Chains A and B, each alone.
Chain A
Amino acid sequence: AQKVTQAQTEISVVEKEDVTLDCVYETRDTTYYLFWYKQPPSGELVFLIRRNSFDEQNEISGRYSWNFQKSTSSFNFTITASQVVDSAVYFCALSDYAGGTSYGKLTFGQGTILTVHP
């Protein structure tokens, strides 16, 4: 069965600090997809990144970067020079072929509450 674990329940930092959110996943499939979503107080989940299981290149987008390591089943997310607007709940999620069916069910982690103080 799929499982996603986010080790940190809450993280509190001061603006301009770097912060890393950890994510570890479990799946039996060889083809799968990993996602990070951000949930601001408004409630809707905002897509940040998608990575497939065959692409282990790290990715950088502005202040955001992601480190995918298949050997340790981890997909960590780093925010460089954090800002108050980064305060939100961040979710790591896994999508696979669920034993043969092709529907895109996402399995989410518990989420990490990030608070960035001025």
Chain B
Amino acid sequence: ETGVTQSPTHLIKTRGQQVTLRCSSQSGHNTVSWYQQALGQGPQFIFQYYREEENGRGNFPPRFSGLQFPNYSSELNVNALELDDSALYLCASTPTGAPNEKLFFGSGTQLSVL
């Protein structure tokens, strides 16, 4: 048990639609990171939020955006979905986001874009 929960577990969307994925972090964890894991690949860093502000971003376009709320919940929003957005989306939380912290991952949301 990592204390990180994600919803929904599975989602099917069509190309061009918008999607919101949700994550509930551990209490006291002020940092949440989102990762995209395509089939057969390692997770790729999308962005990180610390105390409700984005403080780091990977190589993803602006149509990937996020929000973090004071109650340790967060959202990943993806606009104008493309077929290549089909992947497992993982949320991870840590207390401060420092490089030496281990991440506590949720089980992910499996997104399929048709």
Seen from chain A, the residues whose Cβ lies within 8 Å of a Cβ on chain B are 4, 31-33, 35, 37, 42-47, 50, 52, 91, 93, 95-98, 101-111
Contacts and interface: CB of A to CB of B under 8 A. Distances in A.
A98 B31 CA distance: 17
Contacts of B56: 98, 101, 103, 105
Interface stretch (B13-21, B66-74, B77-85, B90-98): B90-98
Contact of B43 (A33, A45, A46, A98): A45
Interface in B9-49: 31, 33, 35, 40-45, 48
B81 to A, nearest CB: 21
A35 B101 CA distance: 10
Interface of B: 2, 4, 31, 33, 35, 40-45, 48, 50, 55-56, 58, 88, 90, 92, 94, 97-108, 110
A103 B50 CA distance: 9
A77 to B, nearest CB: 15
Given A104-B33, A105-B48, A105-B56, A95 B99 contact: yes
Interchain residue pairs A-B with the least CB separation, the first 7: A108-B42, A103-B56, A45-B105, A95-B99, A44-B107, A47-B102, A43-B107
8 contacts: A47-B104, A50-B100, A50-B102, A91-B42, A102-B97, A105-B45, A108-B43, A111-B40
